[in-house]
């Protein structure tokens, strides 16, 4: 496919959106895409990358990862860094599902141990973890407890016996961002959040039982506790209605801020405020609360998955050997230190549908992984592979320590529903060796494999670009969808 008009190919993995392609661009844009993916970069994505490049205080280029597709304001797959004193913060640069992220659990089991009971295991997980639109959790928490959760994050669950300190050590930011303010969260958000802790939700969220079928870097795999044939579990979910409500509330609060601060926006979805303003600080405090809720949510789900394994397989915890590989966020804004033109500066990095990918030696990494780099967990879609990668030094130079987060949609949900009409997707997946359970047929249709780009092509781009390195490939055995 031909490169969209106006773009320039930098090299085999990078395409430039030149400064000046759209009015008021302050910098250029860079989209990570090889020739096989460039034709899937829509005009809307190019426009959104250019629009972000026009925002005040942006540092470096406006970036898009190879899983890029249109989002609210920013592309999904978008990365942008801003000066915290002169730049902005935008809810559109994080998204509605704040700290949607991925958690990978390893076990001591082999594929052969689980395959005979995979149908029962998927049913057990489906029963243990509430899923679907509006699903309600098994936990009952008071307003006061929920406020603690927004500050403590995953530790809130560990203190209740649902996990260990090791889980926290293997979670980005140790499972809690600093600066969260329970007072920045609305009553409506607390109402929604009180009943949804420990729930999967719907849409592209899932729990997948997988096995490791190929290793690309044996030394790194060994350091991550990974081996061929091993059974793993991947969890993909976020902050549920709590985070959605916070985003919705903050967008409403910020709508008048742009004119008040003299901000000229190319798109009303890029509603924002100066990061140093009361509105900007309030958003960051509320967003951090939602991020911490999401880490607590994934921690609770991790506990109930383990209980389902123990019950269905009738084995001991020591025989199961379930433990954390890592947990990464991919809808978040964080204050981080990065080198800019030879000088270390604090920047406010927005990652929307993009994963942190810090290299070896970075002080924020767990001690166990500091010699190899940060694990990067890239889920595919139902029926296709997922990947484990490691962050690389080039990511710090080029992408503010970021990489892709998944496959990226190529079909809208409406288009996917249309193409799935008349098909028995559960049966199709079963013939592929994947047992699936979902709260409804609609989600299965919206999330069918053809709705997404080829995950291998996406991962190969970031691998060849040097911003993250392939370690292992995982194949699905069973999946729970909302």
Domains of the chain: 8-481 (3.90.1860.10)
pLDDT band for 2, please (50, 70, 90 cuts).
low
Mean per-residue pLDDT for 51-60? 97
CA 356 to chain centre: 9
Q: What is the DSSP letter of 474?
A: E
Catalytic annotation present for 362: no
CA 180 to chain centre: 20
**pLDDT greater at residue 39 or residue 239:** 239
Mean per-residue pLDDT for 72-78? 97
Q: What Rg value do the Cα atoms of the chain yield, rounded? A: 21
pLDDT band for 471, please (50, 70, 90 cuts).
very high
The per-residue pLDDT for range 439-448, each reduced to its tens digit, is: 777 877 778 7
Burial 338-366 (b: 16+ CB within 10 A, else e): beeeeeeeebbbbbbbbbbbbbbebeebb
pLDDT band for 428, please (50, 70, 90 cuts).
confident
Q: Which of 208-212, 314-318, 427-431 has the lowest mean pLDDT?
A: 427-431
Residue with the two structure tokens 């899937």: 40
The per-residue pLDDT for range 268-322, each reduced to its tens digit, is: 999 999 999 999 999 999 999 999 999 999 999 999 999 999 999 999 999 999 9
Mean per-residue pLDDT for 170-176? 98
pLDDT of amino acid 1: 53
- How far apart (Å, rounded) are the C-alpha atoms in residues 295 and 327? 9
Written as six digits, the tokens of 385 are: 């592979």
Active-site pick, 205, 405, 414, 426: 405
pLDDT of amino acid 414: 78
Q: In 238-289, where do the E strands start and end?
A: 273-274
Residue 327's beta-bridge partner residues? 103, 171
pLDDT band for 140, please (50, 70, 90 cuts).
confident
pLDDT band for 452, please (50, 70, 90 cuts).
confident
pLDDT band for 378, please (50, 70, 90 cuts).
very high
pLDDT of amino acid 446: 79
Q: Is the pLDDT of residue 64 over 80?
A: yes
- How far apart (Å, rounded) are the C-alpha atoms in residues 403 and 357? 6
Residue 230's beta-bridge partner residues? 110
Q: What is the DSSP letter of 256?
A: T
Round the average pLDDT of the chain to a whole number and report it. Answer: 94
Mean per-residue pLDDT for 397-413? 91
């Amino acid at each position: 496919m031909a490169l969209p008009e106006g773009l320039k190919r930098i090299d085999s993995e990078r395409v430039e959106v030149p400064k000046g392609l759209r009015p008021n661009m302050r910098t250029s844009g860079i989209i990570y895409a090889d020739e096989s993916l460039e034709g899937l970069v829509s005009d809307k994505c190019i426009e959104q990358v250019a629009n972000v490049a026009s925002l005040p205080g942006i540092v470096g280029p406006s970036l898009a990862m190879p899983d890029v597709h249109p989002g609210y304001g920013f592309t999904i797959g978008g990365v942008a860094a801003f000066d915290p004193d002169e730049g902005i913060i935008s809810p559109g640069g994080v998204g509605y599902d704040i700290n949607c992220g991925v958690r990978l659990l390893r076990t001591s089991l082999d594929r052969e141990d689980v395959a005979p009971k995979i149908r029962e295991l998927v049913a057990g997980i489906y029963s243990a973890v509430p899923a679907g639109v509006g699903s309600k959790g098994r936990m009952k928490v008071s307003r006061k407890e929920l406020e603690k959760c927004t500050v403590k994050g995953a530790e809130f669950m560990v203190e209740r016996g649902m996990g260990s300190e090791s889980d926290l050590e293997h979670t980005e930011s140790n499972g809690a961002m600093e600066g969260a303010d329970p007072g920045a969260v609305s009553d409506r958000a607390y109402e929604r959040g009180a009943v949804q802790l420990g729930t999967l939700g719907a849409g592209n969220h899932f729990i997948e039982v997988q096995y490791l079928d190929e290793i690309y870097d044996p030394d790194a795999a060994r350091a991550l506790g990974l081996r061929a044939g091993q059974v793993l579990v991947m969890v993909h979910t976020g902050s549920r209605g709590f985070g959605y409500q916070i985003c919705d509330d903050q967008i409403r609060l910020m709508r008048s801020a742009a004119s008040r601060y003299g901000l000229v926006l190319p798109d009303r979805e890029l509603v924002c405020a100066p990061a140093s303003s009361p509105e900007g600080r309030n958003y960051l405090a509320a967003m951090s609360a939602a991020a911490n809720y999401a880490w607590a949510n994934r921690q609770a789900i991790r506990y109930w998955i383990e209980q389902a394994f123990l019950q269905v397989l009738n084995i001991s915890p020591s025989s199961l050997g379930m433990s954390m590989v890592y947990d990464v966020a991919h809808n978040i804004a964080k204050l981080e230190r990065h080198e800019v033109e030879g000088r270390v500066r604090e920047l406010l990095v927005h990652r929307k549908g993009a994963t942190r990918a810090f290299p070896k030696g970075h002080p924020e990494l767990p001690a166990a992984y500091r010699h190899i780099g940060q694990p990067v967990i890239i889920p595919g879609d139902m029926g296709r592979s997922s990947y484990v990668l490691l962050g690389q030094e080039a990511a710090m130079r080029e992408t503010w320590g970021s990489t892709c987060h998944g496959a990226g949609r190529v079909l809208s949900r409406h288009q996917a529903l249309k193409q799935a009409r008349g098909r028995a997707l559960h049966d199709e997946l079963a013939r592929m060796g994947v047992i699936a359970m979902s709260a409804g047929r609609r989600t299965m249709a919206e999330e069918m494999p053809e709705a997404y780009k080829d995950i291998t092509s996406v991962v190969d781009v970031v691998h060849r670009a040097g911003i993250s390195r392939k370690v292992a490939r995982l194949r699905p055995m069973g999946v729970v969808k909302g």
